[in-house]
Structure 1
């Protein structure tokens, strides 16, 4: 596993699962059904091709073997605005492939900022990651777990409360890549 993949795996385990930001991530992680694909590219066309190939891989691989994929772009899209513009291309790819309703894309970035928030608002931590990441999610799997999860609409609010209650030391430990 590359160093980038190790850092992402650590973030997944310590932040996403450890803080229970995504209550659905622990089981596929335990079952080794989460793929971390590190794109070695530094141009948008090649990264988009990587994402396309990973969507095809999800199409061709049974859920029991592969639940979800994190496509990591460590060598590009460092600027959050550039990342957001590229995210539009990724969403467009899903539409072009006629896969809306099959896959959804969750977005994570070191400088993630929700619309209407200040850069240092704690709630942005819920989507901050060590590198730009495009999370390719099977909608069918998400629908299955949501059926059995109490109050899924409350997840974002609970996540914000969780990260707002982190101490400075906890933030330093969980998000070392954000400390400049």
Structure 2
């Protein structure tokens, strides 16, 4: 089953990169408690993909989940357009108080940074994906962590050092 390999690759990326290098200091707890879901999204119709996104918001009960888009968005800018549509839906349907989304893509680029800068690796994943987090869980994690402003700065320094 092809899907298994993509989910496994995503899990390995989370474990071997995100958790190992502490890119997201909140990831380890949900990983250790197996509170992470993975869904491979099928089809090419953007409207149906958005409906699937909304459906997952309404039905998924775990802390956090990833929606993987294996074939739909090889182009980063096309993916970003889709991601922004999903963000807009969160606002339009008043889901933004409950959920937060983060974009990941193999070609992820931070605006204003050189395309070869290693800092982009924080959001570069094996496949285009949207990470959906419950806002209350994020707020609890932030409360227990403290100064979250330091996280991006630390990640940039680490990734530049690693190359």
TM-score, structure 2 as length reference: 0.94
Aligned-residue offset at 1:72: 0.6
Structure-2 separation of matches of 1:143 and 1:21: 17
| Structure 2 residue 28 is the aligned partner of structure 1 residue 26 | yes
Q: Match for residue 77 of structure 2?
A: 81
Structure-1 separation of matches of 2:102 and 2:57: 14
Aligned-residue offset at 1:129: 0.3
| Structure 2 residue 119 is the aligned partner of structure 1 residue 123 | yes
Aligned-residue offset at 1:115: 0.5
Structure-2 separation of matches of 1:71 and 1:6: 14
Aligned-residue offset at 1:40: 2.0
| Structure 2 residue 12 is the aligned partner of structure 1 residue 16 | no
Where does the alignment leave 5 or more consecutive residues of structure 1 unmatched? 168-180
After superposing the two structures, state which structure 1 stretch, 66-75 or 1-10, moved more: 1-10
Q: Match for residue 5 of structure 2?
A: 3
Aligned length: 161
Identify which of 141, 153, 157 aligns with 1:157.
153
TM-score, structure 1 as length reference: 0.85
Q: Match for residue 68 of structure 2?
A: 72
Q: Match for residue 50 of structure 1?
A: 52
Structure-2 separation of matches of 1:93 and 1:43: 17
Structure-1 separation of matches of 2:81 and 2:103: 12
Q: Match for residue 96 of structure 2?
A: 100
Structure-1 separation of matches of 2:41 and 2:4: 11
Aligned-residue offset at 1:49: 1.8
Aligned-residue offset at 1:135: 0.6
Q: Match for residue 177 of structure 1?
A: none
Where does the alignment leave 5 or more consecutive residues of structure 2 unmatched? none
Q: Match for residue 43 of structure 2?
A: 41
Aligned-residue offset at 1:48: 1.2
RMSD over aligned Cα atoms: 1.2
